[in-house]
Structure 1
């Protein structure tokens, strides 16, 4: 089960209050895709030896859950909707892994990076 990240929710409330004063149509919504997770657990050969211990303890089920969450994140926020008739601007407030994963996706970087 995913829960909103308290610091991210608090930051979103502050942003909403500030943006709402300038633009009255600011919607704040939780997104289940913006949870703290490890999107990819690399195989030992994909990392330099100094990084190997970082992923110790992740089992296959956790790795698969993280990968599914990463796929959902990219599907919702990582690809612009070509069918949309009007532009949408969203501010994502979350933690490091989801943002890093979206940047990795935008740059076309390998999953282990």
Structure 2
């Protein structure tokens, strides 16, 4: 018996480069979501959830069109957030990033992700395929949690738009990282959300 958790970052957002905090997908973002939907078409999903933000909700809607039996539900546990603050051992290279986040944002993010772990990383005694459509930092946190890495390490784990990450768990065993940021379903011109170094 295996529980599989499929983690998807939303498609590219329209006008995100202009500092727009949320909005619909760009034309390229819709193509990313369509390609991902084709990739996931044969997976027998049991349930799906998405962030309530528009870019994630639209990604979920496009995927659901390919799988009519799937009805993704919004979950506030999947909102974009800052899952933790820095630790004494956090490299100084991240000082500017963490310095731009308030203590309140860090505390809210940590509480959210604690609840998300309780909800989505529960052990299952049956085969399950669950889909989460969310945001870069949230996925980084889930991967960090599966690997048992330090709390701040989410900031060093990146996910491309509509990249595919899969966590798995068998009864009595910890969660494992099966796939991270798989982009095989996206041609090079649709690989966005990472630096050019990782987009190849």
TM-score range, shorter chain: 0.7 to 0.9
Aligned to 1:49: 92
Residues of 2 paired with 1:34 and 1:62: CA distance?
Answer: 15
Q: Larger strand proportion, structure 1 or 2? A: 2
- Structure 2: gaps (5+ residues): 1-50, 154-200
The 8 Å contact of residues 78 and 105 in structure 1, kept in 2 or not, is answered as no
Residues of 1 paired with 2:80 and 2:129: CA distance?
Answer: 22
Q: Larger helix proportion, structure 1 or 2? A: 1
Residues of 2 paired with 1:28 and 1:62: CA distance?
Answer: 27
The 8 Å contact of residues 83 and 106 in structure 2, kept in 1 or not, is answered as yes
Deviation at 1:78? 2.1
Higher relative CO (Cα under 8 Å, sequence separation at least 6) belongs to 1
| Pairing partner for 2:130 from 81, 90, 94 | 90
Alignment of 1:89-108 (within 5 A): 89-108=129-148
Taking structure 1 as the reference length, the TM-score comes to: 0.81
Aligned to 2:66: 18
Residues of 2 paired with 1:80 and 1:17: CA distance?
Answer: 29
Aligned to 2:57: 9
Alignment of 1:26-37 (within 5 A): 26-37=70-81
Can you list the C-alpha shifts for 1:27-85, whole angstroms capped at 9, x where unaligned?
Answer: 21001100000000113x23212111101133332221111011011111123334xxx
